[in-house]
Structure 1
Amino acid sequence: MPRTRADGKKTQIVVVGGGAGGLELVTKLGAHFPRQDFDIILVDRNPTHIWKPLLHEVAAGSLDANLDEVGYRGHAYRWGYRYFDGALEAIDRDAKEIIIAPIRDEDGSEVIGRHRIRYDYLVIAVGSISNDFGIPGVKDHCLALESRPDADRFRRKLLNQCLRVSRQMVADPASDATVKVVIVGGGATGVELAAELYSAADALGFYGLEVFDRKRLTVTLLEAGPRILPMLPEKLAAAAHSELENLGVSVRPNTQVVAATPDAIHVKDGTMIPADIRVWAAGVKGADFLNGIGGLETTRGNQLLVKDTLQTTLDDAIFAIGDCASYTPPGHTRPIPPRAQAAHQMADTVFRNIKALIAGKSLIPFVYQDKGALVNLARYSTVGSLMGNLVGGKMAIEGRLARFVYTSLYRLHLIAIHGWIKGLFLILMGHVNQVVRPKLKLH
C-alpha cells in the first residue's frame, strides 16, 4: 500500500484499547510512521492507562495510581498518534469503519453522539472482563479488578469498612468486629490482593486508625480447583499457600461458589461465608460486545480468533492482540494464556506485520516466548518460574531475585511506552516516592 491512499487521504491505523499491548503498539506506530502520511489513532473509553498487574496494589491503597497512570492525550502528543475518547460498539467491515458508542456525562447527558472512524488497518486490543460463569448474584454483589475505577471503588469500600470496625472498637474495646473480605479465585490476582490487604492493614495504624491492625482483618481465598496458582509449579504454589496462611488468610481450595448475596458467598457444600466485601477473580473472558462483532469469528468466551499473523480469521485488515485474542500455536491444545507478557509480544508482532503490509512484504508468524510466571505477595514474598519455553517452566525462583524480576517487568513496560530517558527517570522517581510519599493512599 502506498504511503497515502489513491484518494489522497492518509493511511489510517486504528487501535482500540490502550492496555499493555495497545498502548505499546500505538507508541511504536506513532514513532515509526511519518505524520504527514499516516494517521495513528487510539480509541479507549478511559482517559488514562495503568498497568493492569498493578491494580491489586491500587485497590489496597499501597499504590497511588495518580503517580503511575499515563494520560493518553499527553502521551499521544509526544508519540505522534491521536487519542479518541470512546467505546467500540460495532465494526462495519464493508465501509472499513468502526462505530463508537455515544459518550455521556455523569447525569446522562450526551457529550458526543454515536460516530464512525474509518480505518485502513484495525487492531482490537480491548482486554478482558471477569467471567462470572452465570453464577447467581456475582454480577450484582461482587467487585472485580478490571480497571482503575474498579480498584478505586474497592479501596473506598475497604477504608469505609475499616473505619466502621475501628469505631466499634473505640466504643466497645471488647468488640470482636472484623473486616471480612472474601476473594473468589486463586490465580495471581486473588493471591496478590489477599497478601496486599494484610500489608495495608499493618500500615493503617500510622494513619489515624490506632486501634486497627491485621487481627481485625479476615480474608478468605476460595479456589474451585485443587490448589491455588495452577500456572506455577506445585512446589511454588504450596509455598505461596503457606505464606498466605502465615499472614492470616484462610485458603480454601476445592471450594465451588454457587451464589453471591449482599452479605455472603455461598458454596456448593451448603456453607455460607459472611463477607463485607466480595471480590470476583475467578476467570476472564472477552467483553460481551465482541461476540460476533463485524461478523468475525469468536470463541465461546467472546475472544476473536486470529491466525498466526494475529490477523482475524475472516479479515486480513483487522488484527487482535492481548486477552481479547485467541490463538492456539501449532502443536498445542490450548490458546496462549491471557498475560501481560503475551500482549507485549503480540504488540511487537503486529507492529512488524503492519509495516510489512504497507511495504508489500511477507508477514511473520507470532511465536510466543513463555517467560514464566511471577506472583508478588506484597512486601512479604515473591514466587515464580522463569524461562518457561527454555526449561519447561521449572526454574523456580523466590525471594529477592523473584521480586527483582517482578518489578523489572513493569520497568520494561515503562521504557516501552515512554522511551529510555523518561522511562529511567520515572523508575528513579518511583524509588523516591517510596521514601517520601505516604505508605497508603487514603483518599
Structure 2
Amino acid sequence: MPDTHETARSETGGRSSAKRKTQIVVVGGGAGGLELVRKLGAKFGRKHHDIILVDRNLSHIWKPLLHEVAAGSLDANLDEVGYRGHCYRWGYRFFQGTLEAIDREARTINLAPVYDDDGELLIAGHSIRYDYLVLAVGSVSNDFGVPGVKEHCIYLDSRPQADKFRTKLLNHCLRVSRAMMTAPDADEQVKVAIVGGGATGVELAAELYNAAGALRHYGLEVFDESRLNVTLLEAGPRILPALPEKLAAAARGELEALGVMVKANTQVIEARSRMLVTSAGEQIEADLMVWAAGVKGADFLSDLGLTTNRRNQIIVRETMQTLDDDRIFALGDCASYTPAGEDTPVPPRAQAAHQMAGTVFDNIVRSLKGKPLKSFTYQDKGSLISLSRFSTVGSLMGNLVGGALAVEGRMARFIYTSLYRLHLIGIHGWIKGLFLMLIGRVNRIVRPRLKLH
C-alpha cells in the first residue's frame, strides 16, 4: 500500500535525495495523546520533524466531562477542541481515520476508509509511515459479556453517546411533563438505571438531579426532581471503591438525599428492553439504562500483533515502550503497566494518562538524542468525585499519605475544578489555557444552564 503521507521521498535517476523528516505518529486524541502532540509540536516544529495525530473524530472533549454533556449541564460545542485548529497552532498535522493494522517491518500503520453519514466514501484506506508510533486510543466500556447490554444500554465513552443519552433523557422528560399537564394526579416518572458505582456512575446520578431541577426554567413548568427516579447499581459491597470508606459513605448519603436509590452487592446478569435483571432475580424497570461498570481496551488492540492482557490493554515496560517493539509506545487507558513490586497495574485515570504522556515525550526526545530512557513513576494524586453543585468528596496525594488526606465541600470542589484547568493548560499552553479559563467563567454567567438541543 503506498505511503500517501511521506513528507520527503528519495529521488532517483542521478538526483540527490532530500533528507527524510523524522515522523512521529500518535494515534488517539484523548487527554494524553493531545497533550503529547502539543508538546512534540512545540518542541520540534515542522522543519525536521513531522508530528502526526490520527483520530476517528474531528474534535476532543475531556472524557471526565461526558457525564455533564449527557445530562445537558455542559455544552460540548463550547468546550471541545477542534484538532485542525489545534494542529495549526502547535505545529503538527491531523488526519481523520481509524487504526486498522500495524506493519512493524515496514513501520507503517494502516487506516480504515472514512465514510460520511450517507455512506459515501470520504477518505480511502491508506497507510502512514512512522519512525516512532504512540498508541493513545483510550478505553471503551466493559460489558463483561452480560447478555443484552450492547443492545439495550447506553455507554458514555464518547460525545456521540453522551449526546444520544441527553436527547433520550429530554424526550422522556417532555413526555412526563406533558402527561402531568393533562393529568396532574398521574404518577409519571422518568426512570434511569445506572450500572456501576464508580466515578462515572456516581457523578452522572448527581448531575441528573441538577439538570432536572433546572428544566422547569426551560419550558417544562411541571417537571422537577420529584419526577426523576434514578437507581444506581453496584456489584461490589460499596460505591466508589477507590475512595476511603468514610468518603464513599458520605457520597452515598448525599446521593440518597437527592433521591437516588443506591443498591450495592447487586450484580446485573441481563439487560432487556427497558429492564435490568439481577442475580437475585429482581427486575428493575427503566426508561434509560446506562452501563458504566468498568473499562477495557478496544477489541482491535488485541489484533495488532502486540502483547495485550485479558482486557485488550497493551502491556508496556517502565519506559512506556511495548514489549514487542522499542519504536512503539502506548499510554493512557489502552496501556497496562504494573510497577515493579506491585500486584496491580496503574489505574485507568486521567491523571495517569497525563503522567504517561510526559514520560513518553521525554523518552522520544531522549531516544532521538541517543540518551538512556526514563522509567515511568506513577504519582497517585488521589481521587475526587463531583456530585454536581451539591457536593464534592475525595482524597488527595494517595501514594504519599496513604489516601488519608480527605477533602469535602468547597475545598474539594475547587481542587476538582482545578484538574480541568490543568488539562486546558496541558493541551493549550499557559497563555491560551488562562484565557479559556476566563472565557469559561463568563460563559457560566451568560449561557443557558442546560443544553436542550
TM-score tier (shorter):
over 0.9
Provide the identity percentage.
71
What SS does structure 2 have at the residue aligned with 1:291?
Answer: helix
Matched, 1:62 2:65: no
- What is the aligned length? 439
Q: Equivalences for 1:240-319 in 2 at 5 Å? A: 240-293=251-304, 295-319=305-329
Matched, 1:204 2:215: yes
Residue equivalent to 1:148: 159
1:389 Cα deviation from its structure 2 partner:
1.4
Matched letter for residue 93 of structure 2: R
Note if contact 2:37-2:52 (Cα within 8 Å) is conserved in structure 1.
yes
1:7 Cα deviation from its structure 2 partner:
6.7
Note if contact 2:45-2:92 (Cα within 8 Å) is conserved in structure 1.
no
Distance in 2 (alpha carbons) for counterparts of 1:264 and 1:322: 34
Residue equivalent to 1:190: 201
Note if contact 2:54-2:98 (Cα within 8 Å) is conserved in structure 1.
yes
What SS does structure 2 have at the residue aligned with 1:379?
Answer: coil
Residue equivalent to 1:139: 150
What SS does structure 1 have at the residue aligned with 2:375?
Answer: coil
Question: For 1:191-221, what per-residue CA distance to the aligned partner results, in whole angstroms no more than 9, with x for missing partners?
Answer: 0000000000000000000000000000000
Q: Pick from 314, 331, 351: which aligns with 1:341?
A: 351
Distance in 2 (alpha carbons) for counterparts of 1:110 and 1:74: 24
What SS does structure 1 have at the residue aligned with 2:326?
Answer: strand
Distance in 2 (alpha carbons) for counterparts of 1:215 and 1:40: 52
Distance in 2 (alpha carbons) for counterparts of 1:105 and 1:434: 34
Gaps of 5+ in 2: 1-7, 10-16
What SS does structure 2 have at the residue aligned with 1:315?
Answer: coil
Residue equivalent to 1:392: 402
1:346 Cα deviation from its structure 2 partner:
0.2
Distance in 1 (alpha carbons) for counterparts of 2:282 and 2:65: 32
How high is the TM-score relative to the length of structure 2? Answer: 0.96
Matched, 1:110 2:138: no
Question: For 1:50-89, what per-residue CA distance to the aligned partner results, in whole angstroms no more than 9, with x for missing partners?
Answer: 1100000010000111111000000000000000001111
Matched letter for residue 395 of structure 2: S
Matched, 1:383 2:393: yes
How high is the TM-score relative to the length of structure 1? Answer: 0.98
Matched, 1:96 2:90: no
Note if contact 2:192-2:286 (Cα within 8 Å) is conserved in structure 1.
yes
Note if contact 1:296-1:304 (Cα within 8 Å) is conserved in structure 2.
yes
Distance in 1 (alpha carbons) for counterparts of 2:321 and 2:19: 26
Question: For 1:229-276, what per-residue CA distance to the aligned partner results, in whole angstroms no more than 9, with x for missing partners?
Answer: 000000000000000000000000000001011111111111110000
Matched letter for residue 181 of structure 2: V
Residue equivalent to 1:226: 237
1:292 Cα deviation from its structure 2 partner:
3.7
Note if contact 2:40-2:361 (Cα within 8 Å) is conserved in structure 1.
yes
Distance in 2 (alpha carbons) for counterparts of 1:105 and 1:380: 41
Matched letter for residue 272 of structure 1: Q
Note if contact 1:192-1:375 (Cα within 8 Å) is conserved in structure 2.
yes
Question: For 1:343-375, what per-residue CA distance to the aligned partner results, in whole angstroms no more than 9, with x for missing partners?
Answer: 000000000000000000000000000000000
Question: What is the root-mean-square deviation in Å for CA atoms of aligned residues?
Answer: 1.0
Distance in 2 (alpha carbons) for counterparts of 1:115 and 1:279: 36
Residue equivalent to 2:367: 357
Q: Pick from 405, 408, 417: which aligns with 2:418?
A: 408
Q: Pick from 310, 332, 335: which aligns with 1:325?
A: 335
1:34 Cα deviation from its structure 2 partner:
3.1
Distance in 1 (alpha carbons) for counterparts of 2:230 and 2:148: 20
Most deviating of 120-129 and 410-419:
410-419
Matched letter for residue 267 of structure 2: Q
Distance in 2 (alpha carbons) for counterparts of 1:375 and 1:75: 29
Distance in 2 (alpha carbons) for counterparts of 1:7 and 1:304: 36
Residue equivalent to 1:47: 58
Matched letter for residue 369 of structure 1: Q
What SS does structure 2 have at the residue aligned with 1:116?
Answer: strand
Matched, 1:173 2:184: yes
Distance in 2 (alpha carbons) for counterparts of 1:172 and 1:430: 41
Q: Pick from 418, 432, 436: which aligns with 2:428?
A: 418
1:15 Cα deviation from its structure 2 partner:
0.2
What SS does structure 1 have at the residue aligned with 2:367?
Answer: helix
Distance in 1 (alpha carbons) for counterparts of 2:431 and 2:357: 22
Matched, 1:126 2:137: yes
Gaps of 5+ in 1: none
Distance in 2 (alpha carbons) for counterparts of 1:185 and 1:203: 25
Matched letter for residue 332 of structure 1: E
Note if contact 1:292-1:298 (Cα within 8 Å) is conserved in structure 2.
no
Residue equivalent to 2:5: none
Distance in 2 (alpha carbons) for counterparts of 1:86 and 1:394: 44
Matched letter for residue 94 of structure 2: Y
Question: For 1:154-206, what per-residue CA distance to the aligned partner results, in whole angstroms no more than 9, with x for missing partners?
Answer: 10000000001111111111110100000000000000000000000000000
Distance in 2 (alpha carbons) for counterparts of 1:383 and 1:34: 42
